[in-house]
Amino acid sequence: MFEALYIEKTAEGAQHVALRTLPDEALPQGDVTVRVLWSSLNYKDALAITGRGPVVRAWPMVPGVDAAGIVEQTTSPAFQVGQTVVLNGCGAGELHWGGYAQRLRVPADWLVSLPAGLDAFQAMALGTAGFTAMLCVMALEREGVRPSDGPVLVTGATGGVGSVAVMLLARLGYEVVAVTGRLEEQPYLQSLGAHEALPRALFEAPLRPLEKARWAGAVDVAGGHVLAAVCAGMRPQGVVTACGLAGGMDFPATVAPFILRGVTLVGIDSVMCPRPLRQTAWQRLAELVDLKRLAGLSRTVPLAAVPQAAEDLLESRLKGRIVVEIPQPA
């Protein structure tokens, strides 16, 4: 038996979330069974738990797009019993039971060995948010954005992706400008390495096709009008990585930044990211992350408190990363 956060639909079609004790036989098919030590709370998890977004596509569901734990059983030669592994994305918490449980079972291809330099807690302090931030930074590097090219903008900077992106970019020597709707958090952003903090309202104002060219690169988690404004303010040959939709799925932009300044817009998919790229991103996180700063932007909640934390996340009452402590069997 194992304990899990369980989402099901009532006979009336309403969503119900509660802790449940389930038999091991209920676990879905997979090559590897993992005893989960830690998980994390991401924007997508909050949408799934609250029902505010169509994240869950199979019912009932154990949410949690992230997990870190110890291999208990495996039929795959890629992993050994006792090995520490990390799961993020791959449909966990959407189509396949995820990390908010004492035990999970998944295909071996979804897992990555925990790289040296990180423990299971630190991996979940990063989680999908940190992994996504790393993919954004790697895309900026791949597209040729160098620290000497000019400032790099990060929207949603007090959130999980934004916080880690600020930290990573600063560690790599970039001048980071953070965008936030909570300017009172400027000291927090500066502690992560931000050079400057700007109010989100500047990127929500009426938009012109082209704004003053200021940014050499950008990491955008907002989408919508904010992403359009970011693109309009890029320098010639600037690069924008788009990885979120907290501000909406629409993109009310013009082609002007792309055909007049040669701006590149790069989409970031952390869910179905190819395994070789996934392994590289986790390895680079292990090499680059400042563990003291990571500890400073992380807080822990027990599994039972996740539903309330999900509400708080969607209402912008949280900052940084939320690590979920999974209760261990007696």
Residuewise pLDDT in 10s, the chain (330 residues):
999 999 998 888 889 999 999 999 999 999 999 999 999 999 999 999 999 989 999 999 999 999 999 999 999 999 999 999 999 999 999 999 999 999 999 999 999 999 999 999 999 999 999 999 999 999 999 999 999 999 999 999 999 999 999 999 999 999 999 999 999 999 999 999 999 999 999 999 988 999 999 999 999 999 999 999 999 999 999 999 999 998 889 999 999 999 999 999 999 999 999 999 999 999 999 999 999 999 988 999 999 999 999 999 999 888 889 999 999 987
Q: Retrieve residue 330's tokens.
A: 């007696």
User: What are the C-alpha distances in Å from 251 to residues 142, 199, 231?
Assistant: 24, 20, 10
Class of domain 2-114+297-325: alpha beta
Residues with Cβ within 8 Å of 288's Cβ and at least 6 positions away in sequence, in order, are 134, 168, 171, 172
> Which residue spans of the chain are classified as CATH 3.90.180.10?
2-114+297-325
In whole angstroms, give the CA distance from residue 70 to residue 114. 10
Q: What are phi and psi of 311, to 5 degrees?
A: -60, -45
Q: Report the topology of domain 127-267.
A: Rossmann fold (3.40.50)
> Which residue spans of the chain are classified as CATH 3.40.50.720?
127-267
